[in-house]
């Protein structure tokens, strides 16, 4: 069986084809949006963890203050 070289492969785009730049630009925008959403999610997670950690430290500090007041 011989390969037909006259039929262009539609999955490959020539290097100088303007569609290649458009697709590359579109991919860049899509990945940028994905990166922004990921960063926003991480900021929300870190903020929530910081708030929870702060609450634990405040509770521990209050316990220490009460224990110190009880000793005196």
Nearest Cα neighbor of 32 from 24, 42, 22, 43 is 24
- E strands, 9-70, where? none
Distant-in-sequence, close-in-space partners of 19: CB < 8 Å, separation ≥ 6: 13
Among 14-18, 25-29, 56-60, 63-67, whose mean pLDDT is lowest? 14-18
Q: What is the DSSP string of 29-42?
A: HHHHHHHHHHHHHH
Mean pLDDT of 41-52: 94
Q: Which of 13-17, 39-43, 49-53 has the highest mean pLDDT?
A: 39-43
Integer Cα distance of 57 and 51 in angstroms: 10
For CA atoms 64, 70, 71, 72, give the dihedral sign.
Answer: positive
């Amino acid at each position: 069986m011989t390969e037909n070289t006259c039929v262009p492969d539609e999955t490959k785009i020539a290097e100088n084809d303007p569609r290649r730049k458009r697709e590359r630009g579109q991919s860049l925008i899509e990945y940028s949006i994905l990166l922004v959403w990921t960063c926003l999610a991480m900021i929300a997670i870190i903020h929530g963890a910081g708030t929870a950690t702060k609450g634990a430290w405040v509770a521990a500090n209050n316990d220490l203050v009460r224990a110190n007041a009880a000793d005196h």
